[in-house]
Amino acid sequence: MENAEAPSPVLLVCEHASRRLPEKMGSLGLSPEALVSHIAWDPGALAVSQLLVKSLDAALIYQRFSRLVYDCNRPPDAEAAMPPVSEVFEIPGNAAISAAERLARTEALYVPFTDALSGFIATRKAHGRLPAMVTMHTFTPIYHGRKRDVEIGILHDEDSRLADAMLAAAGKTTRYAVRRNEPYGPADGVTHTLIKHGLKNGLLNVMIEIRNDLVSDEIGQRVMADYLTGLLGESLAALSQ
């Protein structure tokens, strides 16, 4: 949690912020190459989120461990919470997880994360301030050998208010290729956090997916953060009118 007392309504969430594995997990049987790849984390997502913390004066909640251990954007009963395969990589350490191990990982990573989100939202609600939840992700430019043209995905589930406003604002320029529910959408199971914390609490909510080659260095991260600061500011202002 960063900047919990922030004045902005924006609550940034980063489920795939880190590629760190808890020491006792070892390497999960993965190569060093796989352990630093996009299957372990969303490269650049935390860096851009932390720039938005400053530019928007917003709060941020992020997971400190790799999604290879537990993917916090998935419920405990989903196989994808502890995936045995991710894109082209098999994850030996996730191939045959016992029920006890699943429970231990859920309690160690998912429960504290989701409780932190619930607690933050409940506290804000109690003070009459509904957060606008923005989950921050990055995606790989080449997936299963195919290049992706979309640069920024604006994803939503049933409540598209904030996504609609952002897409309208993005449509005023051609700076980035911004698309709705690409390269993933609700059918891919990626809207778990949006549903559990956003829709159930009536919050404005959106998931932002950035193609990770655009935020691979500090300059790219700053340019992207500036762009998203403008887009979010304009969209939230339009919705509050």
List contacts with Zn ion (CB under 5 A).
16, 42, 137
- Residue closer to Zn ion by CB (options 124, 194) is 194
206 vs 95: CA distance, rounded Å: 32
Shortest distance, position 157 Cβ to Zn ion, whole Å: 15
Q: Look up tokens 């409540």; give the residue.
A: 159
Shortest distance, position 88 Cβ to Zn ion, whole Å: 17
The three-state secondary structure class of 127 is coil
- Tell me which residue of 140, 218, 226 sits closest to 176, measured CA to CA: 226
- Residue closer to Zn ion by CB (options 63, 235) is 63
Contact between residue 14 and residue 8 where contact means Cβ atoms under 8 Å apart: no
Shortest distance, position 134 Cβ to Zn ion, whole Å: 13
- Residue closer to Zn ion by CB (options 124, 155) is 155
Residue 87 has phi, psi (to 5 degrees) of 45, -115
Shortest distance, position 46 Cβ to Zn ion, whole Å: 11
Q: Shortest Cβ contact with Zn ion: which residue? A: 137
Taking the CA atoms of 8, 11, 16 and 22 in sequence, report the sign of the dihedral they define.
Answer: positive
- Residue closer to Zn ion by CB (options 28, 124) is 28
